[in-house]
Amino acid sequence: MPRQRPPALDSPLTTRILKVLSRVNTFVYRATDGYIGGTFPARSGSPSGVPICLLTTRGRKSGRLRTTPLLYLSDPAPEGERVILVASQVGRARNPMWFRNLLAEPTVVVQTGGRMRRMRARVADEQERAELWPRLVELYPDYDAYQSWTDRTIPVVICETAAHSAI
């Protein structure tokens, strides 16, 4: 990865292309329960690629449901499995929309493969982030480059099973 953020990543064309690819990936993922579109073939510790989940949030302004395909780390915990997400936005200066949406409404739906779960999302505190970040970088090494490209601390999001909440 380059030391500085490639300017092409901020072009309007790149943004449009990524939006189209996200919509296509979401459609195909849902149609195949993640069989197609369920992994990202990236440099990683896994020969099969990095797993992708679908995160559905409620728009903080529109109130509409928004679904975003994201890389994730599955993290078993004593209380049940957690899904760990990174709000990297490829090292952009601002947090992604999905992150801002879940700050306003932390009840989300996470789909991994054919399994959909209502979960509660929260930002990892400093200690949790320090523990999770090396595992996330092992899963997807580019996260370190993304962090070096921005002045913001890239948030790590922990999604935990929600007892009962409507989205």
**Interior angle at CA 57, CA 158 and CA 102, nearest 5:** 50
Q: How far is CA 30 from CA 38, 107, 144, in A?
A: 10, 20, 30
DSSP 38-95: SEE--SSS-TT-EEEEEEEEE-TTT--EEEEEEE-EEE--TTS-EEEEE--GGG-SS-
> What SS3 class is residue 4?
coil
Joined together, the tokens standing for residue 44 give 């990683």
Task: Supply the pLDDT for residue 1.
Answer: 57
> What SS3 class is residue 35?
coil
What digits encode the pLDDT tens for the residues 144-164?
A: 999 999 999 999 999 998 655
Amino acid at residue number 5:
R
Average pLDDT over residues 21-32: 94
Write down the architecture of domain 7-161 according to CATH: Roll (2.30)
Joined together, the tokens standing for residue 15 give 């943004």
Q: What percentage of residues in the chain have a pLDDT greater than 70?
A: 91
Task: Supply the pLDDT for residue 2.
Answer: 58
Q: What is the pTM of this model?
A: 0.88
For residue 87, the tally of other CB atoms under 10 A from its CB is 21
